[in-house]
Structure 1
């Protein structure tokens, strides 16, 4: 394997970084729309991407031809404050982007308490209808080195990271605090790396130090973000500001 190459992007403040990231993603979506007539964007939840979502929502694209799905989702109703689908609807599907097609991982018609196998199967079926490879996958990184809902040493992590795995989505158990302790659905390495471009979006000096550690060669299981950082198949862009 060749040495991984990172393309780094910086800004003076988080809002400036969010605007730069929005322009970067919009350019890739425009290229996809021009060349293929549709685009697929995979995004993450949390507080860090909110300014990015709001900046991206102002870009004048043919949003009706843009499919948006999630890198992971907490198994809560969409009206719950911890729902990533709710976050995306509130901060991205607005303004110019109000006509984008959001494909949540959780199927609300299943009710609040379906078994994890049913949730996973329904999400897998939905994902199979999307126009892969994704044009852009935007990920974050937790303070424990997780990305999406791929947590260090989780029981499901080996299956999720399996390069020969056939699943795009996996049901995973609730992580430990300080993460929101509810079961999740997460895209696997197969899906997250099935992209033309991957972005890792982080803010804060603490995250910069963690990124520097994660970029060092080593085992992926203690640092699931290494799945993205230590590969050479998909261009990886690091957007960071202290």
Structure 2
């Protein structure tokens, strides 16, 4: 049974304040324990106000390394790039932001390259922060022919290349993503979602667990740590 704790807010602003505070505490605790912090952050629009609040916090950012939990295979200056929004928020604060993709057209080879880059980091992450799409995908683990690669990669594997099927209309490009085992290795897993439809979908995925047809349900079903879910309308 997935152990999930829901945190509910009246507005996106209230959620942004709370989540930024929680992540700030995670960073401070990691640095106190290990003199560094490693975070894997999501793409999309929901995190942006949280990024802004968090980047304003007086934290020892020079000891913080941030990677995207997934990335689209586009140039880093493309608006679809996840690392672009992360870098815009946190590089000015002094954090180290590491892209996980290279200029490689073949998405499978791009996944190998991303895995190699992540192997150079001190693992496990202190935080993997996930979002969820309206189709139930999380990170870039989508339904499709590559989902099994992402779900069942060896534990040592940190990233794979994936081609969603069908390609999402808002970003019709191949991706690289953290594997399920890489996500679940994190010391803390946090999810942010907005809206009643996504809440109902996530509740359904959690209840179904291993039998879920949704990627997020399949990922979370293997979690051994409690999951913090932050939701607002």
Matches within 5 A, 1:74-85: 74-85=72-83
Distance 1:233-1:169 versus aligned 2 partners, 3 A rule: same
Q: Does 1:210 align with 2:201?
A: yes
Match of 1:169 among 142, 159, 166: 159
Q: CA deviation at 1:230?
A: 2.4
Where 2:229 maps in the other structure, the secondary structure is: strand
Unaligned runs of 5+ in 1: none
Distance 1:32-1:212 versus aligned 2 partners, 3 A rule: same
Distance 2:4 2:171 in 1: 30
Q: Does 1:99 align with 2:97?
A: no
Q: Deviations over 1:50-103 (max 9, x none)?
A: 011111101111111111011110000011110001111123333xxx211111
Using the size of structure 2 for normalisation, the TM-score is 0.93
Is 2:108–2:162's contact at 8 Å kept on the other side of the alignment? no
Distance 2:129 2:96 in 1: 17
Distance 1:115 1:93 in 2: 29
Where 1:15 maps in the other structure, the secondary structure is: helix
Q: CA deviation at 1:49?
A: 0.4
Give the corresponding residue for 1:46.
44
Where 1:64 maps in the other structure, the secondary structure is: helix
Unaligned runs of 5+ in 2: none
Distance 2:109 2:219 in 1: 28
Q: CA deviation at 1:179?
A: 4.5
Segment drifting more, 218-227 vs 164-173: 218-227
Task: Calculate the aligned-residue CA RMSD, in Å.
Answer: 1.7
Q: CA deviation at 1:218?
A: 4.3
Give the corresponding residue for 1:30.
28
Number of aligned residue pairs: 232
Using the size of structure 1 for normalisation, the TM-score is 0.90
Match of 1:9 among 7, 10, 14: 7
